Amino acid sequence: MTTPWRVLWTLAWRNLWRNHRRTLIMLAAIAIGVWAMIFLTAIMRGMVDDMVRGGIHTLPGHVQVHHPAYRDDPSVANRMPPPDPTLAAALAAPEVVAWSGRVKVPAIISSERDSRGVSLIGIDPVADDRLAGIAATIVEGRFLEGPADRGVLIGARLAERLETRLGKRVVVMSQDPDNDIADRGFRIVGIFRARLQGVEESLVYAGLETVQRMLRIDEELTEVAVLGDDYRDVDALYRDIAAAAGAQRETLPWYELDGYLGSMLRVMDGFVLVWIVIVFVALSFGLVNTLAMAVFERVREIGMMQALGMRPAAIVWQILLESLCLLGLGLLLGDLLAVLSLWAMQGGVDVSAVAAGMEMAGYGSMLYPSLQWRDLLTANVVVIVLGLLTSLLPAWRASRYAPIEALAKT
């Protein structure tokens, strides 16, 4: 016996509208629930995106290559040669948006007033700006003009600490590979601002070649930073770069370089699922109640259908299809509502009035919701799958009625 789908669909759809008010209330509840799932997820994703992107700018890049001992001891002793032809070929691949070779070593910067421990970073300004976007953060002076630029960029906060300013000279001191003092005087050519105070206080940028000369390391580097297309999808890029870099170098993706950022993203994924399930559980009470009432009101009708020869399985399908219609309509409305409300916010929302101090945690003052198809799909799949599972109980109970008892109901 084949299942009579056509009549089951007809019955499911028309039965849905037998009690308009109840159906509309349930539809509104599902739509608002789905909207809340997607909208709030997009808001939270936007916040995490902002924080991760900020972190990746600071790292910088999605993948970095180092000497294997550099992460334990980030000194010039653990440097590496510039990219060989194999690595250079991998860095020229289309999936690489930008890359930059850098020298990053611990140093002491001294003004005539004070001294501070910092990280001295030698950069090729053109290549590096595509990864870290430093030029856009300059608030006074200028960006470095080339790898041989003899000036230095410091953060506004560091300038305050050192009681120095644009145009003043500072001395930067580190160690060369022979553990001898390597120092050099620099003129401050630019002051930058960063979202994190720590960055503003601890990073000092100078020309790559100038730093290499100061440290007496020829063309050697301490890191190669690589930027891909999307920080959420870096595994293929990571594998290609790691294969090209070989075992004599350590290659790591951003989420391992900055464990906090990586764990934030994983926590966010788990949180999204928990949030969606919590909203669904709240919805499911209404759904079960609606279907239970619908079944209760139609016991006699269900008994009559069984008397006429409808199999119990077809009764189950009829109730499930009714639930599917309700869930489908609710999802459609909820999805539409969420997409429209997020579209209206795509230009960003200024949350500075209520987000004082959020910069400390790495968040910006503008909030850009991030709607991901994966989240939209998860919300829809959870609602449909759990919704149908929840509907199984009233559907199963409907199919268990003995026709003679169901027909006797008034």
Partner 1 sequence: MSAVTCAALCKTFQQGEETIIGLDRVDLKIDSGDFVCLSGPSGSGKTTLLNAIGGLDKPDSGVITVAGQRIDRLGKGDLADMRLHHIGFVFQAYNLIPVLTARENVEFVMQIQGVAAATRRARSMAILEEVGLRGLHERRPAQLSGGQQQRVAVARAIVSRPALVLADEPTANLDSVTAEHLMDLFVELNQRHGSTFVIATHDSRVMAHARRLIRMQDGRIIEELAQR
Residues that bind partner 1 (CB under 8 A): 1-2, 4, 6-7, 10-11, 14-15, 18, 300-301, 304-314, 402-404, 407
Min dist. Cβ of residue 341 to partner 1 (A): 35
Given the complex with partner 1, which of 12 and 264 has the nearer CB atom? Answer: 12
Min dist. Cβ of residue 291 to partner 1 (A): 16
Min dist. Cβ of residue 340 to partner 1 (A): 33
Given the complex with partner 1, which of 71 and 311 has the nearer CB atom? Answer: 311
- Rg for the chain (alpha carbons), in Å? 31
- Torsion sign across C-alpha atoms 107, 247, 129, 360: negative
Min dist. Cβ of residue 398 to partner 1 (A): 13
Min dist. Cβ of residue 24 to partner 1 (A): 17
Give CA–CA dist 263/259, Å, rounded. Answer: 6
Given the complex with partner 1, which of 240 and 322 has the nearer CB atom? Answer: 322
Given the complex with partner 1, which of 217 and 302 has the nearer CB atom? Answer: 302
Min dist. Cβ of residue 303 to partner 1 (A): 9
Min dist. Cβ of residue 320 to partner 1 (A): 17
Min dist. Cβ of residue 6 to partner 1 (A): 7
Per DSSP, what are the bridge partners of residue 174?
Answer: 182
Output DSSP code: residue 177: T
Given the complex with partner 1, which of 268 and 314 has the nearer CB atom? Answer: 314
Percent of residues in the chain assigned helix, strand, coil, to nearest 5: 55, 20, 25
Given the complex with partner 1, which of 21 and 230 has the nearer CB atom? Answer: 21
Given the complex with partner 1, which of 1 and 353 has the nearer CB atom? Answer: 1
Among candidate residues 173, 200, 203, the one with its CA nearest the CA of residue 76? 173
Given the complex with partner 1, which of 201 and 322 has the nearer CB atom? Answer: 322
Give CA–CA dist 257/55, Å, rounded. Answer: 10
Output DSSP code: residue 186: E
Report CA 358 to chain centroid distance, whole Å. Answer: 17
Given the complex with partner 1, which of 152 and 314 has the nearer CB atom? Answer: 314
Query: Contacts by 114-118 with C-beta closer than 8 Å and gap 24+?
Result: 114/161, 114/162, 114/163, 115/162, 116/158, 116/161, 116/162, 116/201, 117/202, 118/158, 118/172, 118/201, 118/202, 118/203, 118/204
Output DSSP code: residue 134: -
Among candidate residues 74, 194, 198, 67, the one with its CA nearest the CA of residue 132? 194
Min dist. Cβ of residue 310 to partner 1 (A): 6
Question: Helices marked H in 114-258 — which ranges?
Answer: 125-132, 156-162, 197-202, 208-215, 235-245, 254-257
Given the complex with partner 1, which of 203 and 406 has the nearer CB atom? Answer: 406
Given the complex with partner 1, which of 16 and 196 has the nearer CB atom? Answer: 16
Residue environment code for 48-74, b if the CB has 16+ CB neighbours within 10 A, otherwise e: bbbbbebbbbbbbbbbbbbbeebeeeb
Give CA–CA dist 220/281, Å, rounded. Answer: 58
Min dist. Cβ of residue 335 to partner 1 (A): 28
How many other C-beta atoms can be found within 10 angstroms of the C-beta atom of residue 358?
A: 18
Phi-psi region of 224 (alpha: psi -120 to 50; beta: other; left: phi over 0): beta
Give CA–CA dist 200/194, Å, rounded. Answer: 6
Min dist. Cβ of residue 27 to partner 1 (A): 18
